[in-house]
Amino acid sequence: MGRAPCCDKANMKKGPWSTEEDSKLREYIEKYGTGGNWIALPQKAGLKRCGKSCRLRWLNYLRPNIKHGEFTDEEDRIICSLFATIGSRWSIIAAQLPGRTDNDIKNYWNTKLKKKLMAMSMTSQPHRKPPPFPSSHHTPSVSFPSLSSLYKDCTTYQDPTRSFTAFEPVSSVQADLLNNGNTTLPTNSSLIHTPEALVNYMQYYPVKENFLMFGSESSCTSSDGSSGHISFGREMKQENMSHFQGFCATNGYEDNHNFMLNPGTNNGGKNVNQWAEKPREYNLENDLEDFKRLISSSSNNCCNNNFIDENKTQEKVMYFYY
DNA sequence: AAACACCGCAACCGCGTAGGA
DNA sequence: CTCCTACGCGGTTGCGGTGTT
Protein backbone atom coordinates (compact mmCIF):
# COMPACT_ATOMS: atom_id res chain seq x y z
CA MET A 1 0.00 0.00 0.00
CA GLY A 2 1.52 3.21 -1.14
CA ARG A 3 1.72 6.51 0.50
CA ALA A 4 -1.40 8.63 0.33
CA PRO A 5 -1.02 11.48 -2.11
CA CYS A 6 -0.74 14.92 -0.60
CA CYS A 7 -3.64 16.11 -2.71
CA ASP A 8 -6.07 15.01 -5.34
CA LYS A 9 -3.75 14.95 -8.28
CA ALA A 10 -6.50 14.27 -10.76
CA ASN A 11 -7.84 17.79 -10.43
CA MET A 12 -4.51 19.46 -10.09
CA LYS A 13 -2.73 21.37 -12.78
CA LYS A 14 0.87 20.43 -13.34
CA GLY A 15 3.72 21.83 -15.30
CA PRO A 16 4.94 25.36 -15.79
CA TRP A 17 3.19 28.17 -14.01
CA SER A 18 1.39 30.83 -16.00
CA THR A 19 1.78 34.49 -15.17
CA GLU A 20 -1.83 34.50 -14.09
CA GLU A 21 -1.20 31.75 -11.59
CA ASP A 22 1.90 33.51 -10.39
CA SER A 23 0.06 36.72 -9.73
CA LYS A 24 -2.78 34.89 -8.00
CA LEU A 25 -0.38 33.17 -5.67
CA ARG A 26 1.68 36.26 -5.06
CA GLU A 27 -1.31 38.42 -4.36
CA TYR A 28 -2.81 35.91 -1.99
CA ILE A 29 0.36 35.40 0.00
CA GLU A 30 1.13 39.09 0.15
CA LYS A 31 -2.37 39.67 1.44
CA TYR A 32 -2.90 36.75 3.78
CA GLY A 33 0.45 35.04 4.13
CA THR A 34 0.78 31.31 3.83
CA GLY A 35 -1.25 30.75 6.94
CA GLY A 36 1.08 27.93 7.79
CA ASN A 37 -0.95 25.63 5.65
CA TRP A 38 0.18 25.10 2.11
CA ILE A 39 -2.32 22.35 1.48
CA ALA A 40 -5.27 24.65 1.95
CA LEU A 41 -3.67 27.64 0.31
CA PRO A 42 -4.22 26.88 -3.37
CA GLN A 43 -7.95 26.42 -2.89
CA LYS A 44 -8.20 29.67 -0.97
CA ALA A 45 -6.15 31.43 -3.59
CA GLY A 46 -8.24 30.00 -6.39
CA LEU A 47 -5.49 27.89 -7.83
CA LYS A 48 -5.78 24.39 -9.19
CA ARG A 49 -2.41 23.49 -7.87
CA CYS A 50 -0.99 21.15 -5.30
CA GLY A 51 0.05 22.85 -2.11
CA LYS A 52 3.54 21.56 -2.51
CA SER A 53 3.68 23.03 -5.96
CA CYS A 54 2.56 26.41 -4.61
CA ARG A 55 5.12 26.29 -1.89
CA LEU A 56 7.87 25.49 -4.34
CA ARG A 57 6.81 28.19 -6.73
CA TRP A 58 6.72 30.75 -3.96
CA LEU A 59 10.00 29.78 -2.39
CA ASN A 60 11.95 29.37 -5.58
CA TYR A 61 10.53 32.06 -7.76
CA LEU A 62 7.93 34.44 -6.40
CA ARG A 63 9.30 35.16 -2.97
CA PRO A 64 10.67 38.69 -2.60
CA ASN A 65 14.41 39.27 -2.80
CA ILE A 66 15.03 36.19 -4.84
CA LYS A 67 18.26 36.57 -6.72
CA HIS A 68 18.48 35.12 -10.18
CA GLY A 69 21.32 35.06 -12.61
CA GLU A 70 25.03 34.64 -12.38
CA PHE A 71 26.64 33.43 -9.23
CA THR A 72 29.55 35.48 -8.04
CA ASP A 73 32.96 34.08 -7.33
CA GLU A 74 32.34 34.59 -3.68
CA GLU A 75 29.15 32.61 -3.90
CA ASP A 76 31.00 29.91 -5.78
CA ARG A 77 33.53 29.75 -3.06
CA ILE A 78 30.95 29.51 -0.34
CA ILE A 79 29.02 26.82 -2.13
CA CYS A 80 32.08 24.74 -2.81
CA SER A 81 33.41 25.13 0.63
CA LEU A 82 30.17 24.27 2.30
CA PHE A 83 29.59 21.37 -0.01
CA ALA A 84 32.96 20.03 0.98
CA THR A 85 32.02 20.44 4.58
CA ILE A 86 28.46 19.30 4.81
CA GLY A 87 27.71 17.68 1.50
CA SER A 88 24.56 18.21 -0.46
CA ARG A 89 22.62 19.99 2.23
CA TRP A 90 21.38 22.55 -0.19
CA SER A 91 18.99 24.24 2.14
CA ILE A 92 21.78 24.88 4.60
CA ILE A 93 24.05 26.13 1.90
CA ALA A 94 21.27 28.33 0.60
CA ALA A 95 20.87 29.81 4.03
CA GLN A 96 24.35 31.25 3.70
CA LEU A 97 23.54 32.88 0.40
CA PRO A 98 20.81 35.47 0.76
CA GLY A 99 18.47 35.50 -2.17
CA ARG A 100 19.53 32.12 -3.43
CA THR A 101 17.30 29.10 -3.17
CA ASP A 102 18.35 25.58 -2.47
CA ASN A 103 16.99 24.54 -5.83
CA ASP A 104 19.00 27.22 -7.54
CA ILE A 105 22.16 26.20 -5.83
CA LYS A 106 21.55 22.56 -6.47
CA ASN A 107 21.02 23.20 -10.15
CA TYR A 108 24.00 25.46 -10.31
CA TRP A 109 26.17 22.89 -8.66
CA ASN A 110 25.00 20.04 -10.84
CA THR A 111 25.18 21.88 -14.12
CA LYS A 112 28.06 24.27 -13.79
CA LEU A 113 30.06 24.43 -10.64
CA LYS A 114 30.86 20.75 -10.48
CA LYS A 115 32.11 20.87 -14.03
CA LYS A 116 34.18 23.90 -13.29
CA LEU A 117 35.83 22.12 -10.45
CA MET A 118 36.45 19.05 -12.52
CA ALA A 119 37.88 21.16 -15.28
CA MET A 120 40.22 22.82 -12.88
CA SER A 121 41.26 19.46 -11.56
CA MET A 122 42.06 18.26 -15.02
CA THR A 123 44.11 21.26 -15.93
CA SER A 124 45.99 20.82 -12.72
CA GLN A 125 46.60 17.11 -13.22
CA PRO A 126 46.63 16.51 -16.94
CA HIS A 127 48.68 13.34 -16.63
CA ARG A 128 45.97 11.54 -14.79
CA LYS A 129 44.04 8.85 -16.47
CA PRO A 130 40.36 9.42 -16.15
CA PRO A 131 38.04 6.89 -14.57
CA PRO A 132 34.34 6.77 -15.30
CA PHE A 133 32.54 9.70 -13.90
CA PRO A 134 29.98 8.78 -11.31
CA SER A 135 26.39 9.14 -12.30
CA SER A 136 24.54 12.18 -11.17
CA HIS A 137 22.77 10.44 -8.36
CA HIS A 138 25.96 9.20 -6.91
CA THR A 139 27.80 10.85 -4.17
CA PRO A 140 28.74 14.35 -5.08
CA SER A 141 32.41 13.96 -4.88
CA VAL A 142 34.60 16.95 -4.66
CA SER A 143 38.08 16.62 -5.88
CA PHE A 144 40.84 17.71 -3.69
CA PRO A 145 42.27 20.36 -5.96
CA SER A 146 38.93 22.02 -6.21
CA LEU A 147 38.77 22.19 -2.50
CA SER A 148 42.19 23.56 -2.32
CA SER A 149 41.10 26.46 -4.36
CA LEU A 150 38.47 27.14 -1.84
CA TYR A 151 40.47 26.47 1.13
CA LYS A 152 42.14 29.72 1.68
CA ASP A 153 40.47 30.93 4.81
CA CYS A 154 38.44 28.30 6.57
CA THR A 155 35.46 30.56 6.48
CA THR A 156 33.08 30.30 9.34
CA TYR A 157 29.43 30.05 8.44
CA GLN A 158 26.41 30.67 10.48
CA ASP A 159 23.23 28.79 10.94
CA PRO A 160 20.45 29.55 13.35
CA THR A 161 21.97 27.64 16.22
CA ARG A 162 25.67 27.57 15.72
CA SER A 163 28.51 28.42 13.49
CA PHE A 164 30.80 26.05 11.77
CA THR A 165 33.87 26.26 9.72
CA ALA A 166 34.48 24.88 6.30
CA PHE A 167 36.47 21.68 6.61
CA GLU A 168 35.62 21.55 10.21
CA PRO A 169 33.62 18.55 11.30
CA VAL A 170 30.35 20.09 12.15
CA SER A 171 30.02 18.62 15.54
CA SER A 172 32.17 17.13 18.19
CA VAL A 173 29.45 14.59 18.64
CA GLN A 174 30.97 12.59 15.87
CA ALA A 175 33.97 11.94 17.99
CA ASP A 176 31.84 9.75 20.18
CA LEU A 177 30.37 8.02 17.22
CA LEU A 178 33.71 7.38 15.75
CA ASN A 179 35.17 6.10 18.89
CA ASN A 180 32.44 3.56 18.90
CA GLY A 181 33.91 2.27 15.72
CA ASN A 182 37.12 1.28 17.48
CA THR A 183 39.03 4.08 15.97
CA THR A 184 41.08 6.73 17.55
CA LEU A 185 40.48 10.19 16.35
CA PRO A 186 43.31 12.37 15.42
CA THR A 187 43.42 14.97 18.05
CA ASN A 188 42.61 18.51 17.22
CA SER A 189 41.71 17.58 13.69
CA SER A 190 38.76 19.82 13.50
CA LEU A 191 40.47 22.77 11.99
CA ILE A 192 42.79 23.11 9.12
CA HIS A 193 44.94 26.12 9.17
CA THR A 194 47.46 25.40 6.51
CA PRO A 195 47.48 23.75 3.15
CA GLU A 196 49.71 21.09 4.55
CA ALA A 197 47.23 20.44 7.26
CA LEU A 198 44.58 20.12 4.66
CA VAL A 199 46.64 17.63 2.78
CA ASN A 200 47.14 15.67 5.92
CA TYR A 201 43.50 15.91 6.56
CA MET A 202 42.82 14.24 3.31
CA GLN A 203 44.17 11.06 4.73
CA TYR A 204 41.14 10.76 6.86
CA TYR A 205 38.62 10.95 4.13
CA PRO A 206 36.99 7.80 2.93
CA VAL A 207 37.36 6.77 -0.62
CA LYS A 208 34.76 5.57 -3.01
CA GLU A 209 35.16 4.74 -6.64
CA ASN A 210 38.49 6.45 -6.74
CA PHE A 211 36.98 9.66 -5.53
CA LEU A 212 37.73 11.37 -2.34
CA MET A 213 34.66 11.84 -0.30
CA PHE A 214 33.67 14.92 1.54
CA GLY A 215 30.78 15.64 3.75
CA SER A 216 27.99 13.21 3.73
CA GLU A 217 27.52 10.09 1.80
CA SER A 218 24.78 11.53 -0.22
CA SER A 219 24.45 8.97 -2.88
CA CYS A 220 20.93 9.74 -2.20
CA THR A 221 18.54 8.14 -4.25
CA SER A 222 15.69 9.26 -2.16
CA SER A 223 15.36 5.82 -0.68
CA ASP A 224 18.79 5.49 0.75
CA GLY A 225 20.36 8.81 1.19
CA SER A 226 17.91 11.30 2.39
CA SER A 227 17.66 10.06 5.89
CA GLY A 228 19.25 11.87 8.73
CA HIS A 229 18.61 15.38 7.68
CA ILE A 230 20.59 17.81 9.67
CA SER A 231 18.20 19.63 11.82
CA PHE A 232 19.66 23.06 11.85
CA GLY A 233 17.41 25.38 13.70
CA ARG A 234 16.71 22.67 16.14
CA GLU A 235 18.92 20.85 18.49
CA MET A 236 21.17 18.59 16.56
CA LYS A 237 20.50 14.99 17.08
CA GLN A 238 23.34 12.62 17.41
CA GLU A 239 22.23 10.33 14.67
CA ASN A 240 22.09 13.20 12.31
CA MET A 241 25.70 13.87 12.84
CA SER A 242 26.70 10.49 11.61
CA HIS A 243 26.82 11.92 8.15
CA PHE A 244 29.98 13.62 9.15
CA GLN A 245 31.82 10.57 10.22
CA GLY A 246 33.70 10.61 7.01
CA PHE A 247 35.71 13.51 8.21
CA CYS A 248 38.07 11.57 10.30
CA ALA A 249 37.19 7.99 10.29
CA THR A 250 40.55 6.45 10.85
CA ASN A 251 43.61 7.00 12.89
CA GLY A 252 45.73 7.19 9.81
CA TYR A 253 45.38 5.54 6.49
CA GLU A 254 48.51 3.57 6.92
CA ASP A 255 47.27 1.95 10.06
CA ASN A 256 43.75 1.33 9.18
CA HIS A 257 42.59 0.18 5.84
CA ASN A 258 38.99 0.34 6.73
CA PHE A 259 36.87 3.11 5.40
CA MET A 260 33.46 4.25 6.35
CA LEU A 261 31.40 3.64 3.30
CA ASN A 262 27.92 4.21 4.57
CA PRO A 263 27.96 6.80 7.25
CA GLY A 264 24.23 7.34 7.03
CA THR A 265 21.97 6.16 9.75
CA ASN A 266 19.74 4.27 7.46
CA ASN A 267 20.63 2.82 4.20
CA GLY A 268 17.45 1.31 3.03
CA GLY A 269 17.69 -1.53 5.44
CA LYS A 270 21.20 -2.33 4.43
CA ASN A 271 24.29 -2.02 6.48
CA VAL A 272 24.47 0.93 8.71
CA ASN A 273 27.77 2.53 9.52
CA GLN A 274 29.34 -0.17 7.56
CA TRP A 275 33.05 -0.60 7.50
CA ALA A 276 34.58 -2.06 4.44
CA GLU A 277 37.94 -2.76 3.03
CA LYS A 278 39.58 0.13 1.35
CA PRO A 279 38.51 -0.28 -2.26
CA ARG A 280 41.86 0.29 -3.81
CA GLU A 281 45.35 1.26 -3.00
CA TYR A 282 46.37 4.73 -3.71
CA ASN A 283 49.58 6.51 -3.43
CA LEU A 284 48.81 9.55 -1.42
CA GLU A 285 52.37 10.38 -0.83
CA ASN A 286 53.02 10.81 -4.49
CA ASP A 287 50.07 13.06 -4.70
CA LEU A 288 51.05 15.28 -1.87
CA GLU A 289 53.25 17.44 -3.97
CA ASP A 290 50.55 17.74 -6.55
CA PHE A 291 48.09 18.72 -3.92
CA LYS A 292 50.40 21.26 -2.43
CA ARG A 293 51.14 22.70 -5.80
CA LEU A 294 47.49 22.98 -6.51
CA ILE A 295 46.86 24.67 -3.27
CA SER A 296 49.52 27.23 -3.85
CA SER A 297 48.54 27.79 -7.43
CA SER A 298 44.90 28.18 -6.85
CA SER A 299 44.45 29.37 -3.35
CA ASN A 300 43.92 32.88 -4.50
CA ASN A 301 41.28 32.05 -6.99
CA CYS A 302 38.09 30.34 -6.37
CA CYS A 303 36.55 28.54 -9.20
CA ASN A 304 37.07 31.32 -11.59
CA ASN A 305 40.02 32.41 -13.59
CA ASN A 306 41.64 29.05 -13.72
CA PHE A 307 38.69 27.40 -15.25
CA ILE A 308 38.96 26.21 -18.73
CA ASP A 309 36.24 26.47 -21.24
CA GLU A 310 33.88 23.76 -20.19
CA ASN A 311 32.35 23.49 -23.60
CA LYS A 312 35.64 22.84 -25.25
CA THR A 313 36.85 20.39 -22.72
CA GLN A 314 33.81 18.40 -22.02
CA GLU A 315 35.58 15.15 -22.54
CA LYS A 316 38.05 16.12 -19.92
CA VAL A 317 35.88 17.71 -17.42
CA MET A 318 33.67 14.75 -17.08
CA TYR A 319 36.45 12.91 -15.40
CA PHE A 320 38.64 13.40 -12.47
CA TYR A 321 41.21 11.06 -11.16
CA TYR A 322 43.13 11.66 -8.06
C1' DA B 1 17.29 25.06 -43.12
C1' DA B 2 16.57 20.89 -40.76
C1' DA B 3 17.81 17.45 -37.59
C1' DC B 4 20.11 16.22 -33.75
C1' DA B 5 22.55 16.76 -29.34
C1' DC B 6 23.37 19.09 -25.36
C1' DC B 7 22.43 22.08 -21.51
C1' DG B 8 20.05 24.55 -17.88
C1' DC B 9 16.28 25.26 -15.21
C1' DA B 10 11.70 24.69 -13.30
C1' DA B 11 8.95 21.52 -11.43
C1' DC B 12 7.79 17.02 -9.66
C1' DC B 13 8.31 12.96 -6.70
C1' DG B 14 8.94 10.42 -2.72
C1' DC B 15 10.98 10.06 1.66
C1' DG B 16 12.03 11.43 6.50
C1' DT B 17 10.62 14.07 10.21
C1' DA B 18 8.15 17.23 13.36
C1' DG B 19 4.36 18.05 15.79
C1' DG B 20 -0.36 17.71 16.95
C1' DA B 21 -4.42 14.73 17.98
C1' DC C 1 2.79 5.90 22.90
C1' DT C 2 0.88 5.62 18.37
C1' DC C 3 -1.03 7.42 14.40
C1' DC C 4 -1.75 10.92 11.09
C1' DT C 5 -0.94 15.09 8.54
C1' DA C 6 1.77 18.47 6.59
C1' DC C 7 6.23 20.31 5.74
C1' DG C 8 10.81 20.42 4.04
C1' DC C 9 14.43 18.39 1.69
C1' DG C 10 17.20 16.24 -1.88
C1' DG C 11 17.15 13.56 -6.10
C1' DT C 12 15.24 13.17 -10.53
C1' DT C 13 12.71 14.31 -14.65
C1' DG C 14 11.18 16.72 -18.61
C1' DC C 15 10.87 20.60 -21.45
C1' DG C 16 12.45 24.59 -23.85
C1' DG C 17 16.36 26.99 -25.55
C1' DT C 18 20.76 26.93 -27.74
C1' DG C 19 24.56 25.07 -30.20
C1' DT C 20 26.41 21.88 -33.59
C1' DT C 21 26.47 19.07 -37.62
- Closest residue (Cα, C1') to B9: A107
Arithmetic mean of pLDDT, A60-79 = 82
Residue A124 lies in a domain: yes
- Closest residue (Cα, C1') to C20: A311
Asked if the Cβ of residue A170 lies within 7 A of any atom of strand C, the reply is no
Residue A103 has a pLDDT of 84
Q: Is pLDDT above 80 for A47?
A: yes
Residue A236 has a pLDDT of 35
Residue A322 lies in a domain: no
Asked if the Cβ of residue A229 lies within 7 A of any atom of strand C, the reply is yes
Asked if the Cβ of residue A42 lies within 7 A of any atom of strand C, the reply is no
Q: Which protein residues have their Cβ less than 7 angstroms from some atom of strand B?
A: A 3, 6, 9, 13-17, 50, 52-53, 56-57, 60-61, 68, 103-104, 106-108, 111-112, 115, 222-223, 226-229, 231, 234, 237, 239-240, 265-266, 268, 310-311, 314
Which segment of A35-44, A136-145, A157-166, A268-277 scores lowest on mean pLDDT?
A268-277
The winner for highest mean pLDDT among A43-47, A84-88, A177-181, A182-186 is A43-47
Q: CA angle, corner A283, sides to A280 and A287, nearest 5?
A: 130
Instruction: Please name every residue paired with A212 in a beta bridge, in sequence order, or none if there are none.
Output: A207
- Quick one: A40 and A137 in the same domain? no
- Quick one: A183 and A92 in the same domain? yes
Residue A1 lies in a domain: no
Distance A304 CA to C20 C1' (A): 26
Residue A35 lies in a domain: yes
Residue A22 has a pLDDT of 85
- Closest residue (Cα, C1') to B15: A222
The winner for highest mean pLDDT among A3-7, A219-223, A225-229 is A3-7
User: CA-CA distance, A133 to A135, in Å (whole number)?
Assistant: 6
Which chain B nucleotides are covered by protein, judged by CB under 7 A? 6-19
Arithmetic mean of pLDDT, A47-74 = 84
User: CA-CA distance, A100 to A82, in Å (whole number)?
Assistant: 14
Q: Is pLDDT above 70 for A322?
A: no
- Quick one: A58 and A123 in the same domain? no
Residue A2 lies in a domain: no
The answer to whether the CB of A110 falls within 8 A of the CB of A118 is no
Q: Which of residues 122-141 of A touch strand C (CB under 7 A)?
A: 136-137, 140
Q: Is pLDDT above 70 for A97?
A: yes
Averaged confidence pLDDT in chain A: 53
Distance A311 CA to B3 C1' (A): 21
- Quick one: A179 and A297 in the same domain? yes
pLDDT digits (tens, 9 = 90+) for A226-263: 333 333 333 333 333 333 333 333 333 333 333 333 33
Arithmetic mean of pLDDT, A150-165 = 47
User: CA-CA distance, A249 to A245, in Å (whole number)?
Assistant: 6
- Quick one: A187 and A162 in the same domain? yes
Residues in chain A, total = 322
pLDDT digits (tens, 9 = 90+) for A174-219: 333 333 333 333 333 333 333 333 333 333 333 333 333 333 333 3
Q: Is pLDDT above 70 for A112?
A: yes
The answer to whether the CB of A84 falls within 8 A of the CB of A58 is no
Distance A13 CA to C7 C1' (A): 21
Q: Give me the number of domains chain A comprises.
A: 2
Q: Is pLDDT above 60 for A1?
A: no
User: CA-CA distance, A247 to A95, in Å (whole number)?
Assistant: 22
Burial label for A244, CB within 10 Å (0-12, 13-18, 19+), is buried
Distance A121 CA to B5 C1' (A): 26
Query: With bands split at pLDDT 50, 70 and 90, how would you rate the model's confidence at A6?
Result: low
What dihedral angle (degrees, nearest 10) is formed by the CA atoms of A193, A197, A203, A207? Answer: 50
- Quick one: A312 and A260 in the same domain? yes
Residue A68 lies in a domain: no
The winner for highest mean pLDDT among A7-16, A64-73, A149-158, A206-215 is A64-73
Q: Is pLDDT above 70 for A297?
A: no
CATH number of the domain at A34, please: 1.10.10.60
- Quick one: A84 and A128 in the same domain? yes
Arithmetic mean of pLDDT, A49-76 = 84
Residue A7: nearest nucleotide (C-alpha to C1'): C6
- Quick one: A255 and A304 in the same domain? yes
What dihedral angle (degrees, nearest 10) is formed by the CA atoms of A126, A112, A218, A15? Answer: -150
Arithmetic mean of pLDDT, A145-174 = 43
- Quick one: A175 and A108 in the same domain? yes
- Quick one: A199 and A308 in the same domain? yes
- Quick one: A57 and A112 in the same domain? no
Residue A192 lies in a domain: yes
Distance A82 CA to C9 C1' (A): 17
pLDDT digits (tens, 9 = 90+) for A117-130: 777 766 665 554 44
**Structural domain range at position A195:** 73-317
Residue A23 has a pLDDT of 86
Residue A216 lies in a domain: yes
Q: Is pLDDT above 50 for A80?
A: yes
- Quick one: A20 and A78 in the same domain? no
